[in-house]
Structure 1
Amino acid sequence: MALTYAIPDLHGRLDLLEGALDLITRHSSGQKFKIVTLGDYVDRGPESRQVIERLMGLKSSTLDLLCLKGNHEAMMWTTSRNLAELSWWLENGGDKTLASYGAVDDLKVIPSAHLNWIADLPLMYVDHQRVFVHAAVDPRIPLSKQNEQTLLWRRYPRGFAGGHGRRHVVHGHHADQKAPLVTQGKTNLDGMAWITGRLVIGVFVDDQSGGAVEFLEVFGPPAALAKSD
């Protein structure tokens, strides 16, 4: 039974990422598995640089890792390439990211390898049963025609319960402390882990349709008590 584990918005919480990797490894009982991280590795929390470095360096004979792009990585990259005002990013948590690199407003401290990694992150992962994405997909148009604004920024309207055709959609981005929020067509995993200290991981059976068969939880200190630089 092949499993895929989905990890939502980490926002600089290296402690929760490490806890998730440990818990998933134990849960998989030595079998091969896939992890899909749903984006938003940076901003708000204290260890954005460290989260990126951990994901970039993660190698395992049993683990297949796929990291998706979130809107916060898009903001970081766009600002670092001088395509947006620095204040826009800083006001949305980028100040914490720069602090993790040891700077206040100097974008030159961000290694080009990190920016290249962000640039290459895919926007979506699709298997036979599900669509994994940071924010949302438009159910009215083919997956191949989805635009970046939707995939990175859109929030589903209140009460919308659908997926995309026969596929279940797994996403983060729409922060809600009540996560996981599950409907027939989609699952929102973003429980505001960076501030609550509670990270929800969805466990999906690759050849079984629908939502998660199980949810795992990792706990760390809430934001006021979390480790800071």
Structure 2
Amino acid sequence: MASPAISKLPTVGFELSKTYAIGDVHGCLDQLQRLVELCERDAGEGRSKLVLLGDYIDRGPDSRGVIEFLMDLQKWSPDEIICLRGNHEDLLLAALEGEDAQLKWRQNGAQATLDSYKAKTPRDIPLKYIDWIRSLPLFHDDGMRFFVHAGVHPDKPLDLQRRRDLLWIREPFLSSDKNFGRLIVHGHTPISTGTPDHRTNRLNIDTGAVYGRALTSAIFSGGMTAPVGFLSTSPIGDR
């Protein structure tokens, strides 16, 4: 594998110039690699942070490759590469505990992940990948934005959110116009237009890469809460 596109730089005397949030990957390794390269090119000489919003596995062609790529990135830049847990990672962890949960995972695209590991059951997946998935946080709060996989429940403050809502919620979050005190940056709900959905209180960047659309990164810079732009890649066959 080529060297990761984002390298670790000294922390003393530097401010993070830009933050890049990347939506649901679902095994689309080629798109992820190209998008990270675009983020690096956009960041230039400045330091940058990557926040990935979860759902690295299932449905797409190379779940194992995606996780290996992210694990490798984190080895090079552990403080600047933040990988959050998505509901599909959570389904895999639950599948390790019982047959009913395994059936639910298999109904949600698990076969592509098992095939990428040449595994028959989730217990055949090497432990180092399971341990990495278990370590993934549920959210990242940078003071202006709250990065999370699915969203938040409008009736609860950010510090009292339920785990299930962070991973699974759609309504009443998607239709809420509540000011959460942060811009909620999320994925989980694919956008059929293939373009980001930016509202006053939230930003959805799941543009449906695994369904033949773009993989998208939102760019945040300086003291601005809202994104200053977007980067995206399409499947190789569509270029």
TM-score between the two structures when normalised by the length of structure 2: 0.86
CA contact (8 A) 1:2 1:207 kept: no
Please, which runs of 5 or more residues in structure 1 have no aligned partner? Answer: none
Matched residue pairs, number? 220
Q: 1:161 deviation in Å?
A: 3.5
For residues 83 and 205 of structure 1, what CA distance do their matches in structure 2 show? 45
- Which of the numbers 54, 67, 90 marks the counterpart of 1:39? 54
Identity of aligned residues (%): 38
Q: Which amino acid aligns with 1:96?
A: A
**Which residue is equivalent to 1:75?**
91
- Counterpart mapping for 1:1-229 below 5 A: 2-58=17-73, 59-60=75-76, 64-82=80-98, 84-103=100-119, 105-157=120-172, 159-165=175-181, 167-178=182-193, 179-209=195-225, 211-221=226-236
For residues 57 and 198 of structure 1, what CA distance do their matches in structure 2 show? 23
Q: 1:15 deviation in Å?
A: 0.5
CA contact (8 A) 1:162 1:186 kept: no
For residues 141 and 79 of structure 2, what CA distance do their matches in structure 1 show? 18
Q: Which amino acid aligns with 1:8?
A: G
Comparing 118-127 with 83-92, greater Cα deviation is found at 83-92
For residues 81 and 101 of structure 2, what CA distance do their matches in structure 1 show? 32
Q: Deviations over 1:143-164 (max 9, x none)?
A: 2211111000001445434441
Please, which runs of 5 or more residues in structure 2 have no aligned partner? Answer: 1-15
CA contact (8 A) 1:43 1:94 kept: yes
TM-score between the two structures when normalised by the length of structure 1: 0.89
CA contact (8 A) 1:181 1:188 kept: yes
Q: 1:217 deviation in Å?
A: 1.1
Q: 1:63 deviation in Å?
A: 7.3
* Distance change >3 Å, CA 163–CA 95, structure 1 → 2: farther
CA contact (8 A) 2:92 2:102 kept: no
Q: Deviations over 1:45-84 (max 9, x none)?
A: 0100111111111144697100000000000111023374
Q: Which amino acid aligns with 1:24?
A: C
Q: 1:7 deviation in Å?
A: 0.4
- SS in structure 1 at match of 2:80: strand
Q: 1:204 deviation in Å?
A: 0.9
Q: 1:181 deviation in Å?
A: 0.4
* Distance change >3 Å, CA 62–CA 114, structure 1 → 2: closer
- SS in structure 2 at match of 1:169: strand
Q: Which amino acid aligns with 2:176?
A: F
For residues 18 and 41 of structure 1, what CA distance do their matches in structure 2 show? 13
For residues 22 and 223 of structure 2, what CA distance do their matches in structure 1 show? 19
